[in-house]
Structure 1
Amino acid sequence: MCGRFALFSDPPRIARRLGLPEEEAQWQARYNIPPGTWIPAARRRDDDSPLLLDEMWWGYKPHWAKENAPEPINATVEKVATSNYFKGAFAHHRCLVPADGWFEWVAVDGQKKPHFLCREDREPIWLAAIWAERADGVPGCAILTEPARGIAQQIHPRMPLVLDDESLEPWLDPDMTDRETLRQVIHHLSAEYITHWPVTTRVNKPIENDPKLIEPVTSGSD
């Protein structure tokens, strides 16, 4: 799954990668981003709108959903294209969430120890996501997850769907709505680029937010 991530890369750098004006990217570095908060994302408001970088609520609940409907933060790649709750957004409201890495927890001697997962070269990553307008009129999103690959399998059975650079444009293309076509052109980042290390348990508290949260710790330290 993906329940916590970090985004601290220079915002204009993120904008440039998408071919957007640098002034569109304005946010503070965050080292411990939890669900139920505003997060930067790239999307189109509708099929005819230009691509933009704005903020979305991390929690997906379409405006047509019943009051007691779930508000998931993730959607699995296995069901996102077929589930009644997600398939409309998958076809028409795909988006990208920029990140520098994500956190996951592994059981060690009966305790859950946090790890930070990211690219080996420390380049930003792009998380595939979907969004829908909520009942309150704001966009809410869910990050897609897939079975963990490569070294990430050591930490958790699932991981966010991290796209390779060539998949960013087609993922955001409003004309691509067919599931099989998307399967052929969308590719995840090769697992060989992913690395991880243990980090402080301070990350367990969403209120914590500083660069030391992603620094490696030795066994037994905090």
Structure 2
Amino acid sequence: MPLEPRELTPRYNVAPGTLITSVRHPSDDAPLVMDEVWWGYRPHWANEKAPEPINATVEKVATSNYFRGAFAHHRCLVPADGWFEWLPVDGKKQPHFLCRADREPIWLAGIWSERPDGKPGCAILTEPARGVAKEIHDRMPLALNAESLEPWLDPHLTDRETIRQVVHHLPAETFTHWPVSARVNRPGNDDASLIEPLPAG
């Protein structure tokens, strides 16, 4: 996956409806770029009242009229260290940070489209939760293994069944999680303490 190195500014509380980092081919024959896209998917042909989802389910992304063109031609990767989910506890929602147990970066599968404003926007694919992720939520982002990154980004690979055969998620045992501060509930908070485990007790 040849790509020019780029220095990324750490972010610890990435909210929907903001710019996020992605890796993609801006067109079929363009080289890979790492750039910023809007986290919110609304294709250029949709009207202003059309939905702007931040996620697309693996069960429907290849067949939905809204997503299938992007699934075939405009796939991307979103780098992340992990993600947050909220677990109901005693009438409240306790945030948890989910990540690889080895703390290596995660590559999340996404799709993108040019938005009505001419700028790219994306949605991250989700799948039924697996392994320890099921303890927190019934869905999780689609995190790809290393062998799947190049085929996922290949704009000339458009057949749905072929994509499914060559693209695979990380094993369930890859992941772990822990409770974190409720400060993450405020998008304005963005510092490394947000992903630190809460003290025991």
What's the TM-score, normalizing by structure 2? 0.98
For 2:20, the aligned partner's letter is I
Instruction: Confirm or deny: 8 A CA contact 1:126 1:162 kept in the other structure.
Output: yes
* Alpha-carbon distance between aligned partners in 1 of 2:51 and 2:159, rounded to the nearest angstrom: 26
1:183 match: 164
CA deviation after TM superposition for structure 1 residue 199, in Å: 0.2
Q: Which of 44, 50, 71 matches 2:31? A: 50
Runs of 4+ off more than 6 Å: none
Q: Is 2:84 aligned against 1:103?
A: yes
- Residue segments in structure 2 that go unaligned for 5+ positions in a row: none
* Alpha-carbon distance between aligned partners in 2 of 1:21 and 1:67, rounded to the nearest angstrom: 35
Instruction: Confirm or deny: 8 A CA contact 1:40 1:53 kept in the other structure.
Output: yes
SS at match of 1:168: helix
Q: Which of 19, 39, 62 matches 2:2? A: 19
Q: Is 2:100 aligned against 1:126?
A: no
* Alpha-carbon distance between aligned partners in 2 of 1:218 and 1:109, rounded to the nearest angstrom: 19
- Residue segments in structure 1 that go unaligned for 5+ positions in a row: 1-17
SS at match of 2:184: helix
Rate the CA distance shift 1:112–1:219 in 2: closer, same or farther, 3 A: farther
CA deviation after TM superposition for structure 1 residue 19, in Å: 2.5
Q: Is 2:22 aligned against 1:37?
A: no
* Correspondences of 1:1-222 after superposition (within 5 Å): 18-22=1-5, 25-218=6-199
* Alpha-carbon distance between aligned partners in 2 of 1:190 and 1:19, rounded to the nearest angstrom: 25
* Alpha-carbon distance between aligned partners in 2 of 1:160 and 1:80, rounded to the nearest angstrom: 13
CA deviation after TM superposition for structure 1 residue 219, in Å: 5.7
CA deviation after TM superposition for structure 1 residue 156, in Å: 0.1
Instruction: Confirm or deny: 8 A CA contact 2:2 2:32 kept in the other structure.
Output: no
* Alpha-carbon distance between aligned partners in 2 of 1:218 and 1:122, rounded to the nearest angstrom: 19
SS at match of 1:82: coil
For 1:129, the aligned partner's letter is G
Instruction: Confirm or deny: 8 A CA contact 1:150 1:191 kept in the other structure.
Output: yes
SS at match of 2:148: helix
For 1:21, the aligned partner's letter is E
1:4 match: none
CA deviation after TM superposition for structure 1 residue 26, in Å: 3.5
For 1:28, the aligned partner's letter is T
**Per-residue Cα deviation, 1:150-203 (whole angstroms, up to 9, x for no partner):** 000000000000000000000001111011001100000001010000000000
For 1:20, the aligned partner's letter is L
Percent of pairs with identical residues: 70
For 1:196, the aligned partner's letter is H
For 2:32, the aligned partner's letter is L
